[in-house]
């Protein structure tokens, strides 16, 4: 069976992840492309589409006409919920880019729409499919770290403010580095801890470097006038079972301690971090140990390549969940909790109060 896929939003992440990965998955055909900037949809069709693939500038028209099985939503954050819900209601399975939505309310509506329609919904947290993440997840799930009672979610850039698209626009994105890259680090941390029950959150956001003119930046200086989101944000989450998580996120920060899409975990039996490769630490026979996990399998080249590109594993795992009617690895209910915690950090910063998340 070949699944008919439509891509909505043919910009950076569609070209950098979704379309090249889907092009390597046998069981799919990309038959429809939509972007409000038509040339982008045309270029995507030419590079990745079937011969008779269609181009749209209006996603509703695409959903009404194209008889799709699957839709990938790769638009800015404010369009994630309305487009995902419309696609679910048009009888499509949906992969929506991260963050799930701008607000928890929108994310909740997405979960409800998936339940109501019986279609699958997943979120593009491809960092779960990295080799180190998959290995560490197995280690955590079999209990080798014991009870994980403290986690750190790292999303720290020194000067890498995304200057393309609408990343700096509060209205379109709902926030800056916290919702953009903090979301990946928090997702990884919660997934490793297998703990989705936050109790209360405190946090603070900053705009201390956003006004800098001619700033040193990985993608060239940003325009301070357009920079309406935070430049860094920090949060502390207390879970129902007493475990705690510290989340650090920035696009621009005066620090040398740069790490992104990483987690550090402290458990009763052992700890783990991703700060210098993947390391496990603990105590054995009254001495401390540190184990460096070798992520390359020495000396063997598999005939079809190592096949460990997280984007490709993400796409294959998603398509296989649809074909075999299994749950996707990234469950929408999990991404909803990430969204709730991020929103609580923003709220706590505004009110200078802890925010309680009542289940």
Q: In what order do the strands lie in the sheet with 28-34?
A: 54-56, 28-34, 3-8, 70-73, 93-96, 121-123
Residue 6 found at the interface with ligand NAD (CB under 6 A): no
Residue 97 found at the interface with ligand NAD (CB under 6 A): yes
Residue 201 found at the interface with ligand NAD (CB under 6 A): no
Do the strands 54-56 and 28-34 form a parallel or antiparallel pair, or are they unpaired?
parallel
Q: Please give the backbone phi and psi of residue 202, each rounded to the nearest 5 degrees, phi first.
A: -125, 150
Judged by CB under 6 A, the chain residues 125 through 144 that form the site for ligand NAD are 126
Judged by CB under 6 A, the chain residues 162 through 191 that form the site for ligand NAD are 164-165, 180
Residue 316 found at the interface with ligand NAD (CB under 6 A): no
Q: How far apart are CA 236 and CA 199, in angstroms?
A: 11
- Return the biggest CA–CA distance within the chain: 67
- Sequence-separated contacts (24+) of 279-284 with Cβ below 8 Å: 280/139, 280/144, 280/145
Of 34, 63, 201, 341, the residue at the interface with ligand NAD (CB under 6 A) is 34
Residue 310 found at the interface with ligand NAD (CB under 6 A): no
Contact window for ligand NAD (CB under 6 A) among 68-76, 132-140, 227-235, 318-326: 68-76
Residue 45 found at the interface with ligand NAD (CB under 6 A): no
Residue 40 beta carbon to ligand NAD: minimum distance, rounded to whole angstroms: 5
Residue 82 beta carbon to ligand NAD: minimum distance, rounded to whole angstroms: 8
Token pair 């006004």: residue: 211
Residue 251 found at the interface with ligand NAD (CB under 6 A): no
Of 4, 7, 9, 331, the residue at the interface with ligand NAD (CB under 6 A) is 9
Q: How far apart are CA 245 and CA 264, in angstroms?
A: 10
Size of the site for ligand NAD (CB under 6 A): 25
Contact window for ligand NAD (CB under 6 A) among 8-16, 86-94, 132-140, 340-348: 8-16
Provide the 10 A C-beta neighbour count for residue 117: 18
Token pair 């954050």: residue: 77
Residue 57 beta carbon to ligand NAD: minimum distance, rounded to whole angstroms: 7
Residue 76 beta carbon to ligand NAD: minimum distance, rounded to whole angstroms: 5
- Alpha helices, DSSP H, located in the chain: 12-13, 19-22, 38-48, 59-65, 80-89, 104-117, 131-141, 170-173, 177, 183-193, 310-323, 332-351
Nearer to ligand NAD among residue 139 and residue 331 (C-beta): 331
Contacts to ligand NAD by CB under 6 A: 8-14, 34-37, 40, 59, 74-77, 79, 97-98, 124, 126, 164-165, 180
């Amino acid at each position: 069976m070949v699944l008919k896929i439509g891509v909505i939003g043919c910009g950076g992440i569609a070209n950098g992840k979704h379309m090249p990965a889907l092009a390597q998955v046998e069981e799919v055909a990309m038959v429809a492309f939509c972007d409000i900037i038509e040339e982008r949809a045309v270029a995507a069709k030419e590079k990745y589409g079937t011969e008779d693939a269609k181009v749209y500038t209006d996603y509703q028209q695409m959903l009404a006409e194209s008889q799709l099985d699957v839709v990938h939503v790769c638009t800015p954050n404010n369009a994630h919920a309305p487009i995902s819900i419309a696609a679910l209601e048009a009888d499509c399975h949906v992969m929506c880019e991260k963050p799930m939505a701008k607000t928890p309310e929108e994310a909740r509506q997405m979960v409800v729409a998936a339940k109501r329609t019986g279609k699958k919904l997943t979120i593009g947290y491809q960092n779960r499919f990295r080799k180190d993440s998959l290995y560490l997840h197995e280690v955590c799930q079999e209990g080798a770290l014991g009870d994980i009672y403290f986690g750190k979610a790292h999303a720290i850039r020194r000067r890498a403010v995304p200057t393309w698209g609408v990343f700096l626009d509060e209205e379109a994105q709902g926030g800056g580095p916290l919702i953009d890259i903090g979301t990946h680090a928090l997702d990884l941390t919660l997934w490793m801890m297998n703990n989705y029950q936050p109790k209360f959150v405190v946090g603070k956001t900053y705009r201390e470097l956003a006004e800098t003119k001619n700033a040193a930046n990985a993608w060239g200086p940003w325009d301070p006038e357009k920079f309406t989101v935070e430049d860094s944000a920090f949060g502390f989450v207390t879970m129902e079972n007493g475990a705690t998580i510290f989340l650090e996120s920035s696009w621009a920060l005066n620090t040398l301690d740069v790490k992104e899409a990483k987690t550090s975990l402290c458990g009763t039996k052992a700890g783990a971090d991703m700060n210098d490769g993947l390391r496990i630490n603990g105590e054995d026979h009254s001495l401390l140990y540190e184990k460096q996990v070798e992520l390359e399998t020495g000396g063997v080249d598999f005939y079809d390549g190592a096949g460990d590109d997280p984007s490709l594993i993400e796409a294959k795992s998603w398509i296989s969940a649809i074909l075999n009617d299994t749950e996707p690895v990234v469950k929408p209910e999990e991404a909803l909790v990430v969204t709730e915690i991020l929103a609580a950090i923003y709220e706590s910063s505004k009110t200078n109060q802890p925010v309680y998340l009542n289940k």
